[in-house]
Amino acid sequence: MQKIAALMRQKAQELLSSGQVQQVAAWRKGQLAYDNAPAVFTSPEACADLVYDEFCPANLSKYLLAATKKKLKTAVFLKPCDTYGVNQLLKDNRVQREYVYAIGTPCQGMLDIKKIRAHGLKGITRITVSEGVVQVETVYGTQNLPQRDVLLDKCLQCKGNAYMIADTEIGEKLATPEPRGDAFAAVKRIEALPPEERFKFWQQELSKCIRCNACRDICPACSCEQCIFDNPAAPVAGKAFADPVEENMFHLIRAYHVAGRCVGCGECARVCPQGVKLGLLNLKFMKDINTFYGPYQAGSDATTPAPQVTFTQGDVEPSAAGQKGRS
Amino acid sequence: MLGEKVTVADKTAAPAPFEPKIVAFCCNWCSYAGADGAGTARKQYPANVKIIRVPCSCRVNPLFILRAFQRGADGVILCGCHPGDCHYMTGNYYTRRRLTLLMSMLNFMGVATERLRVEWVSASEGARFAEIMTSFVEQITALGANVKLRDLRCKK
Ligand code: SF4
Ligand code: SF4
């Protein structure tokens, strides 16, 4: 990973000093060994701070919205899963291709610091990964953990190491984590519950939400300029707990709005400070779309029309959805 | 706890019979004309049904439906032209996909999908319009008041 980071720094400096791009979106070192943050670099000198390791989970594609608005040609480092988001933004016509310089960046799975800490590790000073083993150095000593145990949840539904869009690539592709068997297993478990149980499950799950809107802000499919959640008059945006329905509404609207456009990057669930399992709602829509209208993967290119802007004459009737959606 | 059949009936007073509020979104070209047809043919349907005329069933943002429930509707019915007969050629095909996904999601979240219905009613089907509305009102009356999707703050 250090080799890759060096190549990235070099590439960023080249692009900036040649004037090929005006800014570079990447990650900057945080204060700890595991809290790198997204950052925009505008000068070759600043690129000394550019880092890349297993703690760069953030999908940077959404920075391209501002880049397009400001008409700044932007180089952006994209892990394989992040490339889907860029395509979706291009398809939604929210980002203009001329302002994007996409750099495919190898990834072998990002790590979840919460899962690492859950092994009782404190005072972590350095974390490195090699060949499926995560070496955690702490002030008390070093411990090895199996990589698969501490991968981010989103990396357990990895779509592979291919870039869906890339103007150039950094180094060689790495082997990405094997995805879990059935991506829809959790959805099917809920579908199998009786309606009252399903209602209770969601009520409990969604009442954790503090309406911070982090899930909306990170999402490459959530890119409207005006959003109902910013309208205080709409009874869906309140931050204080007022009514359980409001929670259902917020999540129903959020998930529905990205249905057919959600690329399944899992960022919304990752950034949620409350651990709401909101990815399940996205997965449910994906599963329904696949079942009703044929396999579809949002973001795999920037042109295929989304399932909700196309139709066939023989589409299933809404009345059948209640039952059919469960198959 | 929020249960499906909890109504706010006061046990001491004789409870007034439950009168559901039904919102019907009707496409101007077929179903609304169908409702007119029901009127001219003197076919009765319950007064619980409040019709909102829309230019096309496709005009109905799924949020309209959710909002109707939130603001106190006990049932919502969306009526459009039969698939293939849309005045704007293809509008109702999109409606069909949207509503299919919405229904499936409501079901997934454990909200009774029987409260939401989609029917294709042509301008010449006045009698059928009245039948559909009558049966829908009966169905919702049997289900009782909507509590799962109603915002309690909107309750008078
Ligand atoms: S809804 Fe979540 S998983 Fe889907 S594109 Fe947005 S952030 Fe990614
Ligand atoms: S990130 Fe989590 S807590 Fe914040 S609005 Fe989304 S679901 Fe709610």
Q: What is the pLDDT of residues A17-76, one digit of tens each?
A: 999 999 999 999 999 989 999 999 999 999 999 999 999 999 999 999 999 999 999 999
In short, whether A193's Cβ falls inside 6 Å of ligand 2 is no
Does residue B106 contact residue B52 with C-beta atoms inside 8 Å? no
The overall average pLDDT reported for chain A is: 91
Return the H-helix or E-strand segment holding A14: helix A2-17
Mutate which: A201, A248, A253, A289, vs B, most B CBs within 10 A: A248
In short, whether A280's Cβ falls inside 6 Å of ligand 1 is no
In this prediction, residue A246 carries a pLDDT of 77
In this prediction, residue B11 carries a pLDDT of 54
**Average pLDDT, integer, range A158-172:** 94
Mutate which: A203, A245, A319, vs B, most B CBs within 10 A: A245
Counting ligands in written order, the one closest to the CA of A260 is 1
Helix (H, G, I), strand (E, B) or coil at A246: helix
Does residue A27 contact residue A58 with C-beta atoms inside 8 Å? yes
First to last CA, chain B: 20
In short, whether A268's Cβ falls inside 6 Å of ligand 1 is yes
Interface of A with B in 245-264 (CB under 8 A): 245-246, 248-249, 252-253, 255-256, 259
In this prediction, residue A324 carries a pLDDT of 41
Residue B150 covered by a domain: no
Instruction: List own/partner pairs for A193-201 with CB under 8 A and 24 or more apart.
Output: A195/B107, A195/B110, A195/B112, A196/B3, A196/B4, A196/B110, A197/B110, A198/B108, A198/B109, A198/B110, A199/B2, A199/B109, A199/B110, A199/B111, A199/B148, A200/B110, A201/B110
Number of residues that this document lists for chain A: 327
CB contact under 8 A, A315 and B97: yes
Q: Report DSSP state, residue B85.
A: -
Residue B2 covered by a domain: no
The overall average pLDDT reported for chain B is: 86
In this prediction, residue A155 carries a pLDDT of 95
In this prediction, residue A198 carries a pLDDT of 94
CB contact under 8 A, A315 and B100: yes
In this prediction, residue B39 carries a pLDDT of 86
Residue B104 covered by a domain: yes
pLDDT tens figures, B107-118 = 999 887 889 999
Residue B4 covered by a domain: no
Q: Residue B45: give the domain boundaries.
A: 26-143
Distance CA(A263)–CA(A283), nearest Å, equals 10
* Alpha-carbon distances of A141 from A31, A125, A137, A234, A277, rounded to whole Å: 20, 10, 6, 53, 35
Instruction: List own/partner pairs for A174-183 with CB under 8 A and 24 or more apart.
Output: A174/A106, A174/A107, A174/A108, A175/A108, A176/A80, A176/A107, A176/A108, A176/A109, A177/A108, A177/A109, A177/A147, A177/A148, A177/A151, A180/A156, A183/A157, A183/A283
- Nearest-neighbour CA in chain B from A151: distance (Å): 28
Task: Name residue, tokens 């979240």.
Answer: B109
The Å distance, Cα A251 to ligand 2 centre, comes to 9
Cβ atoms < 10 Å from Cβ of A143: 15
Residue B120 covered by a domain: yes
Ligand 1 pocket test, pick from A82, A158, A219 with the greatest ligand atom count within 8 Å of Cβ, gives A219
* Alpha-carbon distances of B21 from A319, B24, B75, B114, B139, rounded to whole Å: 21, 10, 7, 14, 12
pLDDT tens figures, B14-55 = 667 889 999 999 999 988 888 888 888 888 888 899 999 999
In short, whether A281's Cβ falls inside 6 Å of ligand 2 is no
- Nearest-neighbour CA in chain B from A166: distance (Å): 33
In this prediction, residue A325 carries a pLDDT of 40
In this prediction, residue A44 carries a pLDDT of 95
Distance CA(A224)–CA(A226), nearest Å, equals 5
A310 pLDDT above the threshold of 80: yes
Touching check for A307 and chain B: CB below 8 Å? yes
Listed in sequence order, the DSSP H helices in chain B are: 31-40, 62-70, 91-108, 126-143
Q: DSSP of A139-201, one letter per residue? A: TTEEEEEEGGGGB-GGGGG---S--SS-SEE-SPPPPPPPPPS-TTHHHHHHHTS-HHHHHHH
pLDDT grade, residue A233 (50/70/90)?
confident
A326 pLDDT above the threshold of 50: no
Residues of chain B positioned with their CB less than 8 A from the CB of A227: none
CB contact under 8 A, A195 and B153: no
pLDDT tens figures, A181-200 = 888 999 999 999 999 999 99
- Nearest-neighbour CA in chain A from B147: distance (Å): 9
In this prediction, residue B3 carries a pLDDT of 46
Cβ atoms < 10 Å from Cβ of A231: 11
- The partner residue sitting opposite A242, judged by closest CB among B97, B112, B153, is B153
pLDDT tens figures, A119-150 = 999 999 999 998 899 999 999 999 999 999 99
Residues of chain A positioned with their CB less than 8 A from the CB of B70: 235, 245, 249
CB contact under 8 A, A318 and B105: no
pLDDT grade, residue A242 (50/70/90)?
low
Interface of A with B in 170-229 (CB under 8 A): 187, 190-191, 195-203, 228
A103 pLDDT above the threshold of 90: yes
Give the ipTM.
Answer: 0.88
In short, whether A276's Cβ falls inside 6 Å of ligand 1 is no
**Average pLDDT, integer, range B65-83:** 92
Report the half-sphere exposure of A178 (CA within 13 A, side-chain side): 7
Helix (H, G, I), strand (E, B) or coil at A40: strand
Report the half-sphere exposure of B95 (CA within 13 A, side-chain side): 31
Q: DSSP of A250-302, one letter per residue? A: HHHHHHHHHTTT-----HHHHH-TT---THHHHHHHHHHHHHHH----TTSSS
Overall domain count for chain B: 1
pLDDT grade, residue A240 (50/70/90)?
low
Task: Name residue, tokens 């399903």.
Answer: A198
**Average pLDDT, integer, range B74-94:** 92
Residue of A nearest to B150 (CA): A245
In this prediction, residue B111 carries a pLDDT of 84
pLDDT grade, residue A112 (50/70/90)?
very high
Residue B79 covered by a domain: yes
A238 pLDDT above the threshold of 80: no
**Number of helical H runs and strand E runs in chain A:** 11, 9
In this prediction, residue B2 carries a pLDDT of 46
Touching check for A238 and chain B: CB below 8 Å? no
In this prediction, residue B38 carries a pLDDT of 87
